[in-house]
Amino acid sequence: MTIIFENARLGLGVEEKKINSGDQEELVLDGGFLVPETNSFGHTFRDYNAESERQESVEEFYHIQHIHQSVDFVKKMRAEYGSLNRVEMSIWECCELLNEFRDESDPDLDEPQIEHLLQTAEAIRKDYPNEDWLHLTGLIHDLGKVLLHHSFGALPQWAVVGDTFPVGCAFDESIIHHKYFKGNPDYNNPAYNTKLGIYSKGCGLDNVLMSWGHDDYMYLVAKESKTTLPSAALFIIRYHSFYPLHKSGAYTHLMNEDDKENLKWLHIFNKYDLYSKSKIRIDVEKVKPYYLSLIEKVKN
């Protein structure tokens, strides 16, 4: 029996407020999720200028990424990987495969990727116990990072991870380390360097080429497999690294009404994706049966 999660439209306001917890001041997220004010390195989250052991390597990552993520490159990658003829493996096998990798673009965490997947999913599960589709989305949202593995082509990190952004129009200045786009072949191309570029106002993000990486790849996998997850889940998968949109409000002129509705879910998801990162390990064997049951739901 196929389980179809309905794309319910709910009031999704997320409240942030300050509370005092001993000597530590924390943010509280609607549902009870405590949002730490510093990451596991003692810095504020997504602080790309903080001096840390990862600051220099993260900046160099974005330097390379911004030079190479062009319209031609994205089209080439979508053509090469869109056929989905690389490897067939289960969702849980993909999760375990990610144990081998750490995200070089992430200034907030240096733990294996499976830890991040489970931290995200478990935090969501605690606050939204009835939204099992969102739990599963938390588990699978980063599975496209298998592109780093040799079975999937061993793509370089700059072609797999990091913040995403549209190509085919001007690179918004809210994109982290924007200065490095000057080396991108599209930067001075008049067909691509205006606000709309090759797009039209309100065209819908489905019609926009995004920088290539794990987000777009996993989106293609889910879409082509005819998943029964709701459209909000696909939106989260494709745009969860699109920080210029959901953090800075850039590129909203390209959105249609469906995008605006799904963005509400992405704003909720992002809190867990970003702030659940920590050195606290999840007991994988304890939670594994629950997530295997969710996987079976969408398969049957």
Q: Match 């116990």 to its residue by tokens.
A: 129
The answer to whether 116 is annotated as binding is: yes
Structure tokens at 268: 């909720």
Measure the CA–CA gap between 128 and 118, rounded to whole angstroms. Answer: 15
Please tell me whether 9 is known to bind a ligand.
no
The annotation status of 51 as a binding-site residue, yes or no, is no
* 138-147 as b/e: b if 16+ CB within 10 A: bbbbbbbbbb
Is 108 marked as a binding-site residue?
A: no
Residue 47, marked binder: no
Residue 267 annotated in ligand binding: no
- Asked if residue 125 belongs to a known ligand binding site, the reply is no
Phi-psi region of 2 (alpha: psi -120 to 50; beta: other; left: phi over 0): beta
To the question of whether residue 213 is assigned a binding role by annotation, the answer is no
Distance, in Å, from the CA atom of 247 to the CA atom of 245, rounded to the nearest integer, reads 6
DSSP per-residue codes, 56-121: HHHHHHHHHHHHH--HHHHHHHHHHHTT--S----HHHHHHHGGG---TT-SS--S-HHHHHHHHH
Does the annotation place 54 within a ligand binding site? no
Q: Tell the residue number behind the tokens 């478990």, with chain if given.
A: 122
What are the structure tokens assigned to 200, written together? 């039209």
Q: How far is CA 110 from the centre of its chain?
A: 16
Q: Is 162 annotated as a binding residue?
A: yes
3-state class (DSSP) for residue 39 = coil
Q: Is 110 annotated as a binding residue?
A: no
What are the φ and ψ backbone dihedral angles of 247, each rounded to 5 degrees? -105, -45
23 appears as a binding residue in the annotation: no
Residues belonging to the binding site for substrate are 46, 103-105, 145, 162-163, 240-241
Residues belonging to the binding site are 46, 103-105, 116, 141-142, 145, 162-163, 214, 240-241, 273
Residues belonging to the binding site for Fe cation are 116, 141-142, 214, 240, 273
